A and B are shown apart, each in its own frame.
Chain A
Amino acid sequence: MTENARQRPEFRNINAISDLPNYRLPAAGWVSILHRVSGALMFLLMPFIIWMFDTSITSEISFASFSATFNAGIGFVPGWFMKLVALAIIWAYLHHFIAGIRHLYMDTFHAVTKEFGKSSAVATLVLSLGLTVILAAKLFGLY
């Protein structure tokens, strides 16, 4: 018995390369880590977001160069790549927004059952990814 207890594996230090790919997260786990990833992404891309805000509202001329950035590109960066970056921000905002609403709802109504955790997590992922696909189609001119 003591022998068994001694041999039980311990996972105190998670190795990002060898352990993380083997993790099988439930839907709520995916929502949670993606909430963090999307927040960090928006934090890192904040200057780009403010640049978009700045150039799009400052003047008619800057608005035109804002549009041109996503069509003709800027410098050596092609327009489609800028659209991809904008799409990454769109996804991050949608996921963070919807997962945040889920958080607020759970806090306000004490909605902490296992079933609600799972169903709301699946709804969050479906909504955020679905809306991202719809807006991606719009962004790349499919409709």
Chain B
Amino acid sequence: MMDYQQQLDLQAYLDGELSEAKARRVAAWLAQDAEAAALAIELRQTRSAVTGYEKEIRLPESREFYWSKIQREIQRQERAEPNAERLPEWLKVIRRLLMPATAMAMVAFIAVMVGRQPTGIPSETALTDTGAMTYRDFEKGATLVWLSYPADNEFADYEAAMFE
């Protein structure tokens, strides 16, 4: 009886996903094993039944109506954020690179401001836009800075770029 890994190897062989050496081994085994041969026939038949037989589905809306909704949405988004998505790629890269630097600068600025506080009470400051937080302990004279990188909004940009 075939084990699960052998069944998956057989499938990978039929899909052309194995290395040459492994494909030769599976082919030799397939030629001798009746159970493997029967499974191979079933997998091939299923594949040929599916390939090229996707049901023909047509969009149930007229060209004009469908397009009018898309056009409206494009215009709405362009009004909301003009040219943001259509920036050249190099400009987006610079924007992505500058974001952490801006965050660092803001953190440094906040750290300096916190350092100037006249009271001796430990304080925490959160920067919601950058995902950074500082903690100042005056007694010990220590300042801790947490940086979450990439910041949420930047990660979304990065993901959008990777998506392509």
- Say if A and B assemble together: no
Interface residues of A (CB under 8 A from B): none
